Chains A and B, each alone.
Chain A
Amino acid sequence: MQREGLGLVAVSYDPVPILADFATRRGITFPLLSDEGSAIIKTYGLLNTGVPATNPTYGIPHPGTFILNAKGDVTARFFESAYQERNTISSGLIKLGAKVEAAATRVSAPHLTVTTYLSDRLAAPGTRFSIVLDVVPESRVHVYAPGATGYIPVGLTIDGQPGLLTRTAQFPKSEEYFFKPLNERIRVYQRPFRVVQDLEIDPSPQAAAALKDRSEMSVKGTLTYQACDDKVCFTPQAVPLTWTIGLRPLDRDRANPRD
């Protein structure tokens, strides 16, 4: 994040001693700000009004993340509906086109190269993380974008398994390609492009039971595509891919009890 030139700051309604304890336990050095009384949470319009004022958790926000530019204007925001579901910060940055340091696997397939990695090494129940595929077509080759008809468009399927929720994959804007021999205009990618596939560790109790005592999960998927150049279309391809995400339980450690 510092490489991207962005500071990182987190706000909660916890008193300073709770934050101090949390920061020490987790080795956190970025600012954890104490909005005790939730004045800023209210100013931002984020107070969770579903919590009764008599409840000890009154004052919590709807959790979410804002990306601010140097002027302090919001350039992107990530909010989820259920508290356990949150985009990890690196998953959010990837969607903004940022590079994230991660162990990447490079796969050479016919007519293109795929570099793929996960946004995160570890995920807890409810963590939303991303598979990133950076695809580089060979020179003069194009692949078909989702929605293109008459050809096999580029697609990513993730094998289902207990405890894993698969979201819709995101593809970038494609470009129009004019195929002269057929007088045909079709949507393609012929420059490097990024596919982001969001996944989530299922926070349900059934999933938690299925994943009990597991320290990692192997995610399998298949990249399908058909590559063509300006004269010929090549055989459609299905490239098997595997990723491993470490699993950790929800942080149920507690700081010292509130006074």
Chain B
Amino acid sequence: MAICVVAVARAQTPDPQTLGPKVGAHAPDFTLRDQRGVARTLRSTFGPKGAVLVFYRSADW
């Protein structure tokens, strides 16, 4: 029984390596507000060679 429970818990936690755009895929553009409240597109944050796009949990905790 315990083994079944572990197996179910594992199945519900996807491997993050499999989530999101893969290497070679296009990263969809989007528009969000920055810390100053200004609307920014992803593209507007690019340098000449592209960007480092970080997803993190929260700045609050």
Type the 1/0 row for B20-36, where 1 means its CB is closer than 8 Å to any CB of A. Answer: 11111111111011111
Question: Is A13 interfacial (CB 8 A cutoff)?
Answer: yes
Q: In terms of DSSP, what is the predominant structure of the interface of chain A? A: mixed
Which one of A5, A28, A49 lies within 8 Å of B49 (CB-CB)? Answer: A5
Q: Which residue of B lies closest to A59 (CB)?
A: B58
Docked pose: A19 CA to B14 CA in angstroms = 28
Q: In terms of DSSP, what is the predominant structure of the interface of chain B? A: loop
Given contacts A5-B50, A7-B50, are A31 and B34 in contact (CB under 8 A)?
A: yes
Question: Is A153 interfacial (CB 8 A cutoff)?
Answer: no
Q: Which residue of B lies closest to A35 (CB)?
A: B32
Q: Is the CB of A74 within 8 A of B60?
A: no
Which B1-60 residues sit within 8 Å CB-CB of chain A? Answer: 12-17, 19-30, 32-37, 40, 42-43, 45-60
Chain B residue contacts of A60, Cβ below 8 A: 57-58
Which A1-43 residues sit within 8 Å CB-CB of chain B? Answer: 1-2, 4-14, 16, 18-23, 28, 30-35, 40-41, 43
Give B contacts to A, CB under 8 Å.
12-17, 19-30, 32-37, 40, 42-43, 45-61
Chosen A-B contacts, 24 in total, with CB atoms closer than 8 Å, are A5-B47, A6-B47, A6-B49, A7-B50, A7-B51, A8-B54, A9-B40, A9-B53, A12-B57, A18-B58, A28-B35, A31-B45, A35-B32, A43-B30, A45-B19, A66-B53, A68-B46, A69-B49, A69-B50, A70-B48, A74-B21, A77-B20, A81-B16, A255-B60
